[in-house]
Amino acid sequence: MSGRPTWAEIDLDALTRNYRTLASLLRGRSRLIPVVKADAYGHGAASVSMALARAGTTAFAVALVEEGIALRDAGISGEILVLEGAFPGQEDEVVSRAFTATVFSPDMVRRLEKAASSRSVQVSAHIKIDTGMNRLGASWHSLASLLEALRDAAHIRVTGTFSHLACAEEEDREFTLEQIRRFRQGLGRIREAGIDPGEIHLANSAGLLYWEELRGWTARPGIALYGYPPSPERCPAELRPVLTFKSRVARIQTISAGESVGYNRRFIARRKTDVATVPVGYADGYRRSLGGKAKVIVKGRCAEVLGTISMDMITVDVTEVPDARVGDEVILLGSSANCRVDAASWADALGTIPYEILCGISPRVPRIPIHLPSADCG
């Protein structure tokens, strides 16, 4: 690789295994719709989707029409469900790119119907029911006007119905049970209106992993596919992180006790210290707030990040790694035999969740797919 030696390896073999592990939880003829929004949670939507298609995936979920367009342009021909639906003015793209729309208001239905009828084509749509997230969807108790609009829309075919769970990873099962009850009521209302709800899906990763009763329906896992189960301590499946964030030592120098390192002199050496400079910083998603908390892996050993994280560089104490040399690989997120520094440990240190860490690795970090599955996969 030429250029700055900082990159993220995307292990497509781990991804494929995670996909198969999750698919094996399903019952009957249900399927997975992998969630590849936000550039596949920072993993690179095109190569991730290609690998999943090779493993047998027939449908993908994105948040935005724009993300769907990028997938089509990358050659993904499978079904693409746009979870947030079309914003006004995007209906024509939905129709022309043969996306599966999400609909949750009569207005949306009318705009989509207009775009489809002007091209004299049928467009598929999934109904989104709000069962308590109170974020997006038609409320489970007041679906009448949406259903009426759908009955009048000759060019829209309802092929699915879904909702989203707020807290399926939590030990307290009460609210998820309530969401399931509300979802079933919503499905009942759709059927009463003479509309077939089509493919039914409710489970995200947590729903699929921790709610056996949802495994007979389609599931939309995101984070688990990338190897990070919500509530890892009680995960019923073995999942492997797909992304490893790496760089290389650019410089090593020895400083004396009393010398400081980096902005605002946040680190003062108490002993003679070997300091390695690594070309990655907060502009790459190596979060500044990790200063004083982060570790990396050099030659299989854990090494502490020193002082303030800069925009483009970090500094690492390699005193205990005496054979460290310029050019050595540094694992920023990943593991060795004795040391693990992953998105979950960053998330713990930063008071956030692995999703935000993974999505936060910036576009200037090249994603390098590795272990491309062979053609016989799936």
Ligand X SMILES: Cc1ncc(COP(=O)(O)O)c(C=O)c1O
Which residues have a catalytic role annotated?
37, 263
Q: At closest approach, how far in Å is the CB of 175 from ligand X?
A: 16
What SS3 state is found at 285?
Answer: coil
Q: At closest approach, how far in Å is the CB of 222 from ligand X?
A: 3
Choose, by CB under 6 A, the member of 222, 229, 334, 354 that binds ligand X: 222
Stretch that binds ligand X, among 171-179, 218-226, 266-274, 343-351 (CB under 6 A): 218-226
Classify residue 210 by its DSSP letter: H
Q: At closest approach, how far in Å is the CB of 155 from ligand X?
A: 25
Stretch that binds ligand X, among 112-120, 221-229, 248-256, 315-323 (CB under 6 A): 221-229
Choose, by CB under 6 A, the member of 35, 52, 123, 166 that binds ligand X: 35
Q: At closest approach, how far in Å is the CB of 214 from ligand X?
A: 12
> Measured from the CB atom, is 51 or 269 closer to ligand X?
51
CA atoms within 13 A on the CB side of 59: 23
Q: Taking a C-beta distance cutoff of 8 angstroms, is the pair 162, 131 a contact?
A: no
> Measured from the CB atom, is 115 or 203 closer to ligand X?
203
C-alpha distance across the termini of the chain, in Å = 30
Task: Give Cα 152 to chain centroid, integer Å.
Answer: 36
Q: Taking a C-beta distance cutoff of 8 angstroms, is the pair 370, 52 a contact?
A: no
If binding is defined by CB under 6 A, does position 204 make contact with ligand X? yes
If binding is defined by CB under 6 A, does position 220 make contact with ligand X? yes
If binding is defined by CB under 6 A, does position 43 make contact with ligand X? no
Q: Taking a C-beta distance cutoff of 8 angstroms, is the pair 32, 223 a contact?
A: no
Stretch that binds ligand X, among 145-153, 217-225, 250-258, 314-322 (CB under 6 A): 217-225
> Measured from the CB atom, is 83 or 330 closer to ligand X?
83
Question: Helix axis angle, 174-192 relative to 144-152, nearest 10°?
Answer: 40
Stretch that binds ligand X, among 103-111, 113-121, 215-223, 320-328 (CB under 6 A): 215-223
In angstroms, the CA 13 to CA 201 distance is: 26
**4 φ/ψ sector (left φ>0, alpha ψ -120 to 50, else beta):** beta
Stretch that binds ligand X, among 7-15, 219-227, 258-266, 290-298 (CB under 6 A): 219-227
Residues 106-165 that bind ligand X (CB under 6 A): 164
Contacting residues for 110 by C-beta, under 8 A, at least 6 apart: 149, 153
In the bound state, the residue with its beta carbon closest to ligand X is 222
Q: At closest approach, how far in Å is the CB of 220 from ligand X?
A: 4
In angstroms, the CA 159 to CA 154 distance is: 14
Residues 64-93 that bind ligand X (CB under 6 A): 83
Choose, by CB under 6 A, the member of 8, 81, 86, 223 that binds ligand X: 223
In angstroms, the CA 106 to CA 112 distance is: 10
Token couple for 13? 């073999």
- The residue written with tokens 């509530």 in the block is 231
Residues 164-193 that bind ligand X (CB under 6 A): 164
Token couple for 277? 């400079």
Surface-to-core class of residue 190, CB atoms within 10 Å of its CB (0-12 exposed, 13-18 middle, 19+ buried): buried
If binding is defined by CB under 6 A, does position 38 make contact with ligand X? no
In angstroms, the CA 100 to CA 184 distance is: 22
If binding is defined by CB under 6 A, does position 269 make contact with ligand X? no
Q: At closest approach, how far in Å is the CB of 203 from ligand X?
A: 8
Q: Where do contacts with ligand X occur on this chain (CB under 6 A)?
A: 35, 83, 164, 204-205, 220-224
